Chain A
Amino acid sequence: QQQVKQSPQSLIVQKGGISIINCAYENTAFDYFPWYQQFPGKGPALLIAIRPDVSEKKEGRFTISFNKSAKQFSLHIMDSQPGDSATYFCAASIGGYKLSFGAGTTVTVRA
């Protein structure tokens, strides 16, 4: 069964806009929540990650918001650029062991 549920399946945003991708999980033992970015024909690449002891982590234009009580976390892409057009996957694991990935969100940034 899918342990991490991701939405939306796809989104289109204008250049300079904000992209928001949401993920939900059930297993409260998960303690590591990374986001991966994948371009066509390439493997996923780690973008940013968070642990449940913090509610937010920011790296450049990318921010993870984490809500432990709701068992949800989200990725915000600020000032979206055409180069951000890619598929984004959330994931979760226990201690970095056995990553479970969401189904992915395809982001298209229109110039």
Chain B
Amino acid sequence: EAGVAQSPRYKIIEKRQSVAFWCNPISGHATLYWYQQILGQGPKLLIQFQNNGVVDDSQLPKDRFSAERLKGVDSTLKIQPAKLEDSAVYLCASSLDFPGYEQYFGPGTRLTVT
């Protein structure tokens, strides 16, 4: 079974630029999550989708972050404009159902904002 795919793996941008991350969950998984993992910290949930609907986005900084999940499969997370404090690893995870007791994580995208 293929795992959660993410791209790009690494991204370096300057502050005030925009960036987008892509995630392809495990086939058949209904729930998709985006986490932010700052160096030395645990992952923090940003947003979770059930199929293509948003279940929770209470910790998403909506003034600069946006996310969508088209057709209940792939998802993109966008930051516009980026700030220095957005430097982190952005992890995508998926689970078979909702709520997802077992979440499968992708390798993440490491974002550096200079």
- Chain A contact residues, CB within 8 Å of chain B: 4, 6, 32, 34, 41-46, 49, 89, 91, 93, 95-104
Contact = CB atoms under 8 A, between A and B. Distances in A.
Contacts, number: 50
Interface residues of B, number: 21
8 contacts: A6-B42, A32-B101, A41-B107, A43-B108, A89-B42, A98-B45, A98-B48, A103-B41
A30 to B, nearest CB: 13
B64 interface: no
B103 A99 contact: yes
A44 B44 contact: no
A43 B101 contact: no
Contacts of A91: 42
B72 interface: no
Contacts of A32: 101
